[in-house]
């Protein structure tokens, strides 16, 4: 077997990162100060090499101050903001889904608003028996899986939160968003290495497959898994035997009752459901409107600029945009229509809508596949409900128990309370667009990994830390 110098250097660095520095006076090893994978800027094809490099980067980060950790995060923020246009359009070209202006905006807002080190809180208990300090400590190297719907944005948000918590991360991105993932990660690491002197805090598998995901999940040096995606990856992460944070699928229902401000409801529904062509997991996916205001609500949607399809046009769109998959031939969104523009959906339905049209909509019954399926395209089904109880019951059924996101438009606080209790979702928005729940037009902070099934909620730096307690017995209570 032939070994070149870089392989030998990587092996030596990996061994050194296991055993620590050589004692003074020992034989000088080959470039002892070069950590595993240094100079690769986070881009790897081999999972083991990526994890070794991320491990070495984590060990370096541990020896640095909180101020330097913040400096690393500020570099990611700066690139995300300054290069949002170039990277956003790169993601648009590669994935071919969503809307370019939103690809750009997602990167910029993550750079501006993803939570950082300020989210790490120290607690203290002080009493007759001294002082206990509870602090947040990193896990180490985290494995992250990211979706095609927001490839680089998810990596960016995860990286900020995970590094703020003191970790490094290895990402297995969706294969259809792998190029922008690798390019974004390369740019982040290059700048971090130049300005802070640590390479590979964020590593990415350049040719991701289900096998590389499995290897990552089972790697001994991975201490925590964070997956963002549909049901299959959530199940795979939970089967891994490791602690997993699962940001899973949603099918967010909207209820509109007879007390709602219908024009505001229509504007908000369009804003949320049309954003990035409905790719967001939190986006409005089906609307249940009480019968007494149903026709007025449809008129409000038209006034707000959405294009209504009649029953035959909805059927025509459905026959192309919904397909059958799996052994049980269940309904699923057709790949060719996911994340496509509303005007494309309208054309498929036989309607000539202007390119500026953001959303198409139409009346369906509750069993329609556009209600039951997470469509991720800018067509919204509207279903008549007898009354608000009926609307809430249908919303609960078609949220499918994901406990992800729900929205109500109402001025009746009782109805808001009942729906909140019944659906029990991680995010619950009243009288706003879905993204208000992520701090975009509402209060709170932003992350694109919302962990419903495992309960962490909108992930933050604290999500990626362990709690540790340090107790001083009978002393240091100075009051
Ligand atoms: P997807 O489930 O097809 O893929 C997500 C990621 O998981 C990809 O990287 C994919 O390669 C990987 N993957 C899939 N099956 C796997 C398996 N068995 N083992 C290992 N890895 C596997 O989803 P997508 O189309 O990329 O993204 C859309 C889905 O993600 C929607 O269901 C949406 O609701 C969800 N999502 C959730 C959140 C959240 O915060 N909860 C955020 C964004 C997207």
pLDDT of 2 reads: 47
Ligand 1 close to Cβ of residue 405 (< 6 A): no
Q: What 3-state class would DSSP assign to 129?
A: coil
229 lines ligand 1 (CB under 6 A): yes
DSSP designation for 29: P
Summarised one tens digit per residue, pLDDT across range 27-44 is: 444 455 789 999 999 999
- pLDDT value at residue 15: 47
Burial of 444 (0-12, 13-18, 19+ CB in 10 A): middle
> 408: CA distance to ligand 1 center in Å?
26
User: What value does the mean pLDDT of the chain take?
Assistant: 94
User: Treating both helix axes as pointing N-terminal to C-terminal, what angle do 231-239 and 210-218 enclose, rounded to 10 degrees?
Assistant: 30
CA–centroid distance, residue 301 to ligand 1 (Å): 31
> Read out DSSP for 335-359?
TTTTT--HHHHHHHTT----TT---
Q: Kindly indicate the confidence band of residue 7, based on its pLDDT and cuts at 50, 70 and 90.
A: low
* Residue tagged 């995606």 (tokens): 229
Alpha-carbon span 190 to 197, nearest angstrom: 10
| pLDDT number for residue 171 | 98
Nearest CA to ligand 1 atom 19: 233
Q: Is 15 in the pocket of ligand 1 (CB under 6 A)?
A: no
Q: pLDDT grade, residue 172 (50/70/90)?
A: very high
Residue 204 phi, psi dihedral angles, 5° rounding: -135, 140
Which DSSP helix (H) or strand (E) runs through 320? Answer: helix 311-321
Burial 401-414 (b: 16+ CB within 10 A, else e): ebbbbbbbbbeeee
User: How far is CA 172 from its chain centroid?
Assistant: 14
Mean pLDDT along residues 350-360: 96
Give per-residue pLDDT as tens, 30-87: 455 789 999 999 999 999 999 999 999 999 999 999 999 999 999 999 999 999 999 9
339 CB-side CA count, 13 A:
19
CB 437 within 8 A of CB 444: yes
HSE at residue 122, side-chain half, CA atoms within 13 A, is 8
Angle, vertex CA 227, rays to CA 225 and CA 228, nearest 5: 160
Of 296, 294, 257, nearest to 431 by C-alpha is 257
User: What is the tens place of the pLDDT at every residue in 179-234?
Assistant: 999 999 999 999 999 999 999 999 999 999 999 999 999 999 999 999 999 999 99
At 380, give phi and psi (nearest 5°): -115, 125
Residues 6+ positions from 163 with CB-CB distance below 8 Å: 61, 69, 72, 73, 76, 169, 201, 202
Nearest to 161 by CA among 451, 437, 429, 443: 451
DSSP-derived secondary structure for 180-213:
HHHHHHHHHHHHHHHHHS---SEEEESS--HHHH
pLDDT of residue 152: 98
Please give the average per-residue pLDDT across 148-166, as a whole number: 98
Q: For the CA atoms of 341, 344, 345, 349, what is the dihedral angle to 10 degrees?
A: 160
pLDDT in tens, 293-344: 999 999 999 999 999 999 999 999 999 999 999 999 999 999 999 999 999 9
Q: Compute the average pLDDT of residues 339-359.
A: 97
Residue 20 has pLDDT above 60, yes or no: no
Nearest CA to ligand 1 atom 22: 233
C-alpha distances (whole Å) from 377 to each of 229, 327, 391 are: 16, 24, 23
Q: How far is CA 405 from CA 222, 426, 464, in A?
A: 30, 6, 22
Residue 242 is predicted with a pLDDT of 96
The mean pLDDT value for 13-25 works out to 44
Of the pLDDT bands very low, low, confident and very high (cuts 50, 70, 90), residue 4 is low
- pLDDT at residue 128 tops 90: yes
- Please give the pLDDT value at position 27: 46
50: its two tokens: 């990526």
Evaluate if residue 273 carries a pLDDT over 60.
Answer: yes
Whole-number pLDDT of residue 26:
41
CA of 73 to the centre of ligand 1 (A): 25
pLDDT value of residue 16? 45
Convert the pLDDT of each residue in 451-472 to its tens digit.
999 999 999 999 999 999 999 9
Nearest to 432 by CA among 423, 442, 422: 442
Say how many Å lie between the CA of residue 173 and the centre of ligand 1: 9
Distance 233 CA to ligand 1 centre (A): 6
pLDDT at 422: 98
Q: Which residue has the tokens 């690769």?
A: 40
Residue closest to 398 by CA, chosen among 358, 434, 425: 425
| Cβ of 249 less than 6 Å from ligand 1 | yes
For the chain, the maximum distance between any two Cα atoms, rounded to a whole number of angstroms, is: 86
Ligand 1 nearest atom to the CA of residue 147, by list position: 26
Burial class (CB in 10 A: 0-12, 13-18, 19+), 474: exposed
Q: Which atom of ligand 1 is nearest to the CA of 172?
A: 9
pLDDT confidence of residue 76 = 98
Q: Which has the closest alpha carbon to 47: 137, 136, 171? A: 171
Q: How many CB atoms lie within 10 A of CB 329?
A: 9
Q: Does ligand 1 lie within 6 Å of residue 236's CB atom? A: yes
């Amino acid at each position: 077997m032939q070994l070149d110098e870089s392989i030998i250097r990587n092996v030596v660095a990996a061994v050194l990162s296991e055993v620590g520095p050589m004692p003074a006076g020992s034989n000088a090893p080959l470039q002892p100060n070069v950590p595993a994978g240094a100079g690769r800027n986070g881009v790897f094809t081999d999972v083991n090499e990526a994890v070794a490099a991320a491990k070495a980067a984590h060990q370096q980060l541990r020896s640095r101050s909180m101020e330097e950790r913040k400096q690393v995060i500020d570099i990611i923020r700066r690139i995300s903001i300054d290069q949002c246009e170039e990277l956003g359009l790169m993601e648009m070209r590669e994935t071919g889904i969503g809307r370019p202006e939103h690809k750009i905006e997602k990167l910029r807002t993550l750079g501006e608003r993803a939570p950082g080190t300020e989210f790490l809180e120290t607690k203290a208990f002080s009493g007759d028996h001294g002082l206990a300090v509870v602090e947040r400590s990193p896990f180490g190297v985290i494995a992250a899986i990211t979706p095609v719907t927001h490839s680089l944005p998810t990596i960016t948000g995860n990286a900020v939160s995970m590094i703020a918590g003191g970790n490094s991360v290895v990402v297995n991105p969706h294969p259809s968003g792998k190029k922008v993932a690798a390019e974004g990660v390369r740019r982040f690491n290059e700048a971090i290495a130049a300005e802070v002197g640590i390479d590979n805090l964020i590593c990415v598998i350049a040719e991701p497959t289900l096998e590389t995901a499995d290897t990552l999940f089972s790697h001994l040096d991975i201490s925590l898994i964070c997956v963002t995606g549909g049901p299959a990856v959530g199940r795979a992460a939970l089967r891994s035997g490791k602690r997993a944070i699962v940001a899973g699928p949603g099918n967010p229902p909207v209820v509109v009752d007879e007390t709602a401000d219908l024009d505001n409801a229509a504007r908000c529904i369009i804003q949320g459901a049309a954003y990035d062509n409905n790719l967001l997991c939190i986006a409005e996916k089906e609307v249940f409107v009480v019968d007494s205001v149903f026709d007025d609500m449809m008129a409000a949607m038209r006034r707000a600029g959405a294009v209504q399809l009649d029953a035959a046009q909805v059927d025509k769109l459905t026959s192309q945009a919904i397909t059958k998959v799996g052994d049980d031939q269940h309904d699923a969104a057709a790949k060719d229509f996911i994340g496509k523009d509303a005007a494309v959906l309208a054309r498929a339905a036989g309607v000539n809508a202007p390119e500026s049209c953001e959303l198409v909509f139409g009346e369906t019954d509750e069993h329609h596949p556009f209600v039951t399926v997470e469509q991720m395209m800018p067509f919204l089904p509207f279903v008549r409900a007898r009354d608000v109880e009926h609307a809430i019951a249908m919303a609960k059924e078609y949220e499918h128990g994901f406990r992800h996101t729900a929205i109500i438009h109402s001025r009746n606080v009782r109805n808001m309370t009942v729906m909140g209790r019944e659906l029990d979702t991680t995010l619950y928005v009243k009288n706003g667009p879905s993204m208000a729940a992520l701090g975009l037009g509402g209060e709170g902070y932003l992350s694109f990994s919302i962990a419903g099934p495992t309960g962490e909620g909108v992930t933050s730096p604290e999500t990626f830390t362990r709690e540790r307690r340090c107790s001083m017995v009978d002393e240091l209570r100075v009051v």
